[in-house]
Structure 1
Amino acid sequence: MKKLKGISKLLLFVLLIGLAGCSAEDGAVGPQGEPGKDGIDGVDGEDGTDGQDGADGTDGQDGNANVIYSDWFYPVWNEFDTPRAKRMVVKNPEFGKNYDDGVILFYWITNNGSTFLVPWNTYSTSTGALIISRSMNIRGGSGDVWITIRRYDRDFEIRDTYGQYDGITYNRLRYVIIPGNINAGGKSSSNKANEKSPLDYSNYEAVKAFYNIPD
């Protein structure tokens, strides 16, 4: 019995020595493990609060704010009135101001609805001779404008010079004053103008639309 116990102790001792001689480096590298599962996506943050609307801007000034215009009026020949020559004086303090870069326009409308920029003339359809001349003269710093009409072949007819006669309207005029700071440089035979401008002052409808002038 004692002999068996001695052998057992010896075998145990040998086994311990063998295990002590083994190293962790001697073992083979194991296979790589499977990748881990993806994490859960985070929750989206809340939307920010909308900013306040900005204040409305100030309305711009009307394009015709500085344009001066009259109503249509009948001619009144208050300077002289003869069978073949008549003149009226139209007064407005604005006429006397310095409009070196601006214009003063007079429009004349006839009974058939045709509108002309003064000066304008009437010629014979057969000979081409001048029959009626209509002119405009700005009287310096006086604030006066002269409108003159002359007939060369015979005395005036009613339709030539009357504003209204026997219930029929024949002639009316109006003026438009365009200061230099808003002058479009339109083309005109009676005022300084920029010939490169597309606005033709002799075209009343175009001027009326461009400057938003009511009838």
Structure 2
Amino acid sequence: MKNYSLFKISGLMACVFFLLSCSAEDGAIGPQGPQGEPGATGPQGEQGLQGEQGPAGVDGQNGQDGTDGEDGTANIIFSEWMRADWNDVDTAQLKTMHVPITEISSDELRRRTLVYMYLGQFGSNSRYPMPGKGRWSNTWYSFSFGSTTPGFEGIIIRLESTNGVDLTEFQYSGDRGNIFRYILIPESAQAGKLNYSDYEAVKAFYNLPD
């Protein structure tokens, strides 16, 4: 019985010794197992919808263009063309006529205003500055202004013969085309470089009507 047990123990120890003496290199490496299938990727979240752009606002109504103003005359005062009317002195060789001025005072007329007179005559479309002889060789047209005679304030136009010969109706008559026009230019509207003896230049500069 003891011999059987000893034999049994000796055999067991031999097996243990054999197992311990074996290394990992001794046995063949088994084949690699198949790779597992990758896990399924989860679905990507949907992108949110962009909000719609609102409609453009309606353009406001354009304002109406303002009416162009009329060309100004720089605050000057001017008369219409006046036919000769010798209502003061009316002789064969001397004639005068009064032209009242009501737009400004006599003091302002004398002290702060340029006063110009122009003459139109029979048989000519020209406009002559005064004082001057006009288109004739023996006449002199002139004027004065302000308080020139008692009880009158304005402009006095004067026509006289310069050679002692009686004036003809072509030289003095309103019916024959003798006409006058005054232009009063206050200080604020005076132009130093303007040739006031040239009626057409004055007319254009101040935009005067015919």
Give 1:104 shift: 1.6
Matching residue of 2:170 = 159
Which of 145, 151, 164 is the matching residue for 2:155?
Answer: 145
**2:113, 2:187 within 8 Å by CA — same for their partners in 1?**
yes
In 2, Cα distance between the equivalents of 1:5 and 1:105? 146
- TM-score (structure 1 length as normaliser): 0.61
In 1, Cα distance between the equivalents of 2:121 and 2:157? 15
Query: 2:84 is paired with a residue of what secondary structure?
Result: coil
Query: 1:150 is paired with a residue of what secondary structure?
Result: strand
In 2, Cα distance between the equivalents of 1:183 and 1:101? 10
- AA matched with 1:87: T
CA spacing shift, 1:93–1:143, aligned 2, 3 Å: farther
Give 1:67 shift: 1.7
Give 1:136 shift: 0.8
Higher deviation after alignment, 53-62 or 104-113: 53-62
Answering whether residue 23 of structure 2 is matched by residue 7 of structure 1, we say yes
**2:119, 2:180 within 8 Å by CA — same for their partners in 1?**
yes
Answering whether residue 126 of structure 2 is matched by residue 114 of structure 1, we say yes
In 2, Cα distance between the equivalents of 1:105 and 1:49? 62
Post-superposition CA distance 1:32-79 (Å, at most 9, x none): xxxxxxxxxxxxx99x97986688679668431522211111111111
**1:106, 1:176 within 8 Å by CA — same for their partners in 2?**
yes
In 2, Cα distance between the equivalents of 1:180 and 1:121? 28
**1:137, 1:145 within 8 Å by CA — same for their partners in 2?**
yes
Matching residue of 1:91 = 100
**2:117, 2:129 within 8 Å by CA — same for their partners in 1?**
yes
- AA matched with 1:118: M
In 2, Cα distance between the equivalents of 1:170 and 1:106? 16
Give 1:170 shift: 2.5
- TM-score (structure 2 length as normaliser): 0.62
In 2, Cα distance between the equivalents of 1:10 and 1:101? 137
Runs (5+) with no aligned partner, structure 2: 1-14, 28-52
In 2, Cα distance between the equivalents of 1:76 and 1:175? 15
Which of 50, 68, 84 is the matching residue for 2:77?
Answer: 68
Identity %: 31
CA spacing shift, 1:123–1:178, aligned 2, 3 Å: closer
CA spacing shift, 1:58–1:214, aligned 2, 3 Å: closer
Give 1:214 shift: 0.4
Give 1:4 shift: 7.7
Query: 1:135 is paired with a residue of what secondary structure?
Result: strand
In 2, Cα distance between the equivalents of 1:4 and 1:97? 147
How many corresponding residue pairs? 160
Post-superposition CA distance 1:83-112 (Å, at most 9, x none): 111111110123624154431211101121
**1:122, 1:131 within 8 Å by CA — same for their partners in 2?**
no
Runs (5+) with no aligned partner, structure 1: 12-44, 125-129, 186-196
In 2, Cα distance between the equivalents of 1:51 and 1:143? 62
